[in-house]
């Protein structure tokens, strides 16, 4: 269905196969673009880690925590509301744009006045100007919100990728230049604002949505009825993912927070690449699947095992080899981050699965369930973070994250999906081999790492390869292994071949 049509799509267009093909194309673009951006961001981070001090990273973490929260609530859920809009998209655009811009302006004004109190709470009073500068990106987000929704709704991820990459190029250039001239934490903030401005400008051009403003009360009510509960849920999620920055900064100071931020950024590599790419298409895909009887459950039962199978070996390698990884990439001065990273990889795996479940809930319109999922996780997490940080420093913070993720978040995700009528037994049976493979891969990785710990780079390569080979040998069936080997030997086989489909 084109964006301009108000006619419901024919039945075949909302089948698992049809939506899967559209989402698959969008996902390929999202993964490729996000991967390119993250690789560049990773390289930029290596440079900045050598130009700036851990305390600079810590001060920036305070401003980033405020920005992350504001980015989740400033558009009051209007991007997702636009993606799942039922009816003519053009009827929603003027009202949606007006609401998004007005809410973003109101949020930024509030942020400007509350920035000193927030910086004081996080233990970095000097971060106030940085908070005010970095949070200005929400104004750009408000202007582009409905245009982003249009691109996601049409599965035009290639245009989003172009916009994001253009913004990243500017961000990297500005940040590195300023860091080289001793701009400190402002190197991050100025670069991100400049990059966001470029990304926003490109989106306004490529979305091809008329720049109209208007207010239709009926449309506004529909949008806000969906968006406000979602924004509340995303706001709680933002607290969930940023409370640790505030707690560590307040209890341990900016230098410790800098070490913690580096570890968290490394643990966020996979969620940042795959999680963001998946989110670009998953909400739209699950939204369409929810229109067909039984299609949503089938789609979820396929998607979650695939996500777990992919992320487990990455988590194993990253957790076991954390000291060597940090030493090789960032240098000895950042080694305190390694003991944190080992536990944050557990959180990474749970976040990937819970993020996908969250997208299922949004796509299905079950916003209240998404809200209570994040509330339950947050209520358990915040006191655990305080307790863990007081007892064990930044490592205690990471341990608290891991324990709550496994014992609280995991069961909450399972209960929430069951509440949607999704049977969990097929998911459980599908992840037995990947979980067993992950355990054996960890053992193999640890054994090789201990034999090569005199050379960090050799340890990374040898132990990582041992873990990967072990995982593939256990997680995949012999038939899947043979087909994967065939695919590797004959890369010319098209993505639609039976070999590729079966390996998936």
Residue 41 CA, chain-centre distance (Å), reads 15
Tokens of residue 467, six digits: 């873990």
Tokens of residue 197, six digits: 């401005």
Residue 11 confidence (pLDDT): 41
CA distance 440 to 158: 38
Give the chain's largest Cα–Cα span: 68
Q: Are 163 and 280 in contact (CB under 8 A)?
A: no
Residue 387: CB partners within 8 Å, gap ≥ 6? 396, 400
Alpha-carbon distances of 168 from 41, 144, 215, 239, 316, rounded to whole Å: 8, 17, 34, 26, 29
| Domain count within the chain | 1
| Structural domain contains residue 331 | yes
Residue 27 confidence (pLDDT): 57
| Structural domain contains residue 473 | no
Q: Are 340 and 395 in contact (CB under 8 A)?
A: yes
| Structural domain contains residue 291 | yes
The tokens 């209890």 sit on which residue? 251
Q: What angle do CA 143, 146, 152 make, to 5 degrees?
A: 130
Tokens of residue 85, six digits: 């809009």
Q: What is the pTM of this model?
A: 0.68
What's the sign of the alpha-carbon dihedral 180, 50, 70, 162?
positive
| Structural domain contains residue 207 | yes
Per-residue confidence of the chain (504 residues) as pLDDT tens digits?
333 333 344 443 444 455 555 555 555 655 666 667 767 777 887 788 888 888 888 888 888 888 878 887 777 777 777 777 777 778 888 888 898 889 899 989 998 999 999 888 888 888 899 999 999 999 998 888 888 888 877 777 778 888 888 998 999 999 999 999 888 889 988 999 999 999 999 999 888 888 888 888 888 888 888 777 777 777 777 777 788 988 998 899 888 999 998 998 888 877 766 666 566 566 667 776 766 545 777 878 888 888 888 888 888 899 999 999 998 888 888 889 998 999 999 998 898 888 888 878 877 777 778 788 888 898 899 999 999 999 999 999 999 999 999 999 999 988 988 888 888 888 888 889 889 999 999 999 989 988 877 788 888 889 989 999 999 888 877 776 666 556 545 444 444 433 333 333
CA distance 337 to 351: 20
Question: Which domain, by its residues, includes 122?
Answer: 11-430
| Structural domain contains residue 458 | no
Residue 28 confidence (pLDDT): 62
Smallest CA-to-CA distance from 175 within 43, 266, 70 is with 43
Strand, coil or helix: 107: helix
**DSSP designation for 350:** H
Residue 23 confidence (pLDDT): 52
Alpha-carbon distances of 146 from 72, 99, 207, rounded to whole Å: 15, 10, 9
CA distance 299 to 440: 29
| Structural domain contains residue 423 | yes
Residue 149 confidence (pLDDT): 85
Q: Are 278 and 402 in contact (CB under 8 A)?
A: no
User: What are the backbone angles phi and psi of residue 324, rounded to the nearest 5°?
Assistant: -65, -40
Residue 455: CB partners within 8 Å, gap ≥ 6? none
| Structural domain contains residue 466 | no
Please write down the HEC assignment for all residues of 281-324. Answer: HHHHHHHHHCCCCCHHHHHHHHHHHHHHHHHHHHHHHHHHCHHH
What's the sign of the alpha-carbon dihedral 49, 50, 52, 58?
positive
CA distance 2 to 10: 12
CB half-sphere exposure, 136, CA atoms < 13 A: 15
| Structural domain contains residue 72 | yes
Helix (H) or strand (E) holding 116: helix 89-121
């Amino acid at each position: 269905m084109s964006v301009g049509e108000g006619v419901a799509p024919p039945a075949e267009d909302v089948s698992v196969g049809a939506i899967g093909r559209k989402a698959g194309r969008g996902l390929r673009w999202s993964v490729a673009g996000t991967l390119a951006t993250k690789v560049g961001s990773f390289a930029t981070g290596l440079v900045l880690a050598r130009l700036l001090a851990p305390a600079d990273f810590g001060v920036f973490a305070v401003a980033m925590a405020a920005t992350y929260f504001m980015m989740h609530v400033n558009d009051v859920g209007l991007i997702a509301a636009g993606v799942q809009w039922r009816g003519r998209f053009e009827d929603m655009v003027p009202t949606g744009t007006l609401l998004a811009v007005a809410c973003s302006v109101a949020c930024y004004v509030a942020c400007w006045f509350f920035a000193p109190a927030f910086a004081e709470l996080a233990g970095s009073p000097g971060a106030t100007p940085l908070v005010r500068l970095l949070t200005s990106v929400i104004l750009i987000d408000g202007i582009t919100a409905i245009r982003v929704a249009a691109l996601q709704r049409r599965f035009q991820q290639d245009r989003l990728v172009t916009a994001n990459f253009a913004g990243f190029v500017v961000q990297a250039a500005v940040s590195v230049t300023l860091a080289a001239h001793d701009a400190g934490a402002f190197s991050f903030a100025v670069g991100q604002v400049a990059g966001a401005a470029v990304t926003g400008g490109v989106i306004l051009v490529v979305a091809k949505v008329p720049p109209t403003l208007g207010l239709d009360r009926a449309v506004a009510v529909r949008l806000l009825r969906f968006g406000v509960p979602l924004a509340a849920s995303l706001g709680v999620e933002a607290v969930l993912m940023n409370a640790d920055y505030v707690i560590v900064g307040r209890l341990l100071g900016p230098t410790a927070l800098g070490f913690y931020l580096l570890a968290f950024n490394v643990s966020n590599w996979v969620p940042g690449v795959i999680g963001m790419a998946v989110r670009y298409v998953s909400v739209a895909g699950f939204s369409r699947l929810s229109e067909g009887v039984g299609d949503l459950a089938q789609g979820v039962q396929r998607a979650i095992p695939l996500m777990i199978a992919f992320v487990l070996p990455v988590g194993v390698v990253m957790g076991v080899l954390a000291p060597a990884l940090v030493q090789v990439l960032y240098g000895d001065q950042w080694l305190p981050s390694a003991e944190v990273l080992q536990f944050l990889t557990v959180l990474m795996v749970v976040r990937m699965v819970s993020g996908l479940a969250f997208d299922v809930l949004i796509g299905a319109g079950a916003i209240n369930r998404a809200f209570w999922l994040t509330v339950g996780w947050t209520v358990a997490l915040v006191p655990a973070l305080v307790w863990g940080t007081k007892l064990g420093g930044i490592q205690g913070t990471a341990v608290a994250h891991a324990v709550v993720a496994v014992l609280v978040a995991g069961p909450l995700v399972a209960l929430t999906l069951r509440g949607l009528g999704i049977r969990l037994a097929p998911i459980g049976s599908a992840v037995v081999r990947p979980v067993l493979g992950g355990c054996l891969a960890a053992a193999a990785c640890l054994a090789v790492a201990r034999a090569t710990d005199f050379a960090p780079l050799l340890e990374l390569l040898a132990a990582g390869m041992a873990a990967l080979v072990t995982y593939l040998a256990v997680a995949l069936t012999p038939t899947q292994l043979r087909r994967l080997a065939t695919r590797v030997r004959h890369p010319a086989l098209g993505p639609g071949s039976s070999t590729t489909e079966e390996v998936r």
